Amino acid sequence: MFDDVHNYYERIVYDRILIRVGKKSVNQDYMEDVACAALNHLPPRYIRFDVDMLFYLSPVERAEIELKVDSAIELAIDIVKANKGRGKKN
């Protein structure tokens, strides 16, 4: 397996969810559901090292990525709220 290969958006989504919902009030299941829904609304962007991605992005591209992530998280929160109680694990 490729240990260093990952989707660039995963860490950003995780960090932005923590900012959005607050670290103390985070329910792990809720956060993971929101993360999955948000990531499914973002294009995959696989990289080996985050620093490489940051080096090649312009400030405008970084801002666009943050806007895309924030929009995807807002949509994901709405989706998770709308589906609350459906398909829960036993």
User: What is the reported pLDDT for 49?
Assistant: 87
User: How far apart, in Å, are the Cα atoms of 41 and each of 4, 9, 32?
Assistant: 23, 11, 14
Dihedral of the alpha carbons of 58, 60, 14, 55, in degrees to the nearest 10: 0
User: What is the reported pLDDT for 22?
Assistant: 75
pTM reported for the whole predicted model: 0.83
Domain segments of the chain as ranges: 6-82
Print pLDDT tens along the chain (90 aa).
788 899 999 999 999 999 887 766 668 888 999 999 999 999 999 998 888 787 888 999 999 999 999 999 999 999 999 998 665 554
Distance CA 69, CA 63 (A): 10
Distance CA 53, CA 18 (A): 22
Token pair in block for residue 39? 């990531």
User: What is the reported pLDDT for 90?
Assistant: 41
- Contact at 8 Å (CB) between 33 and 6? no
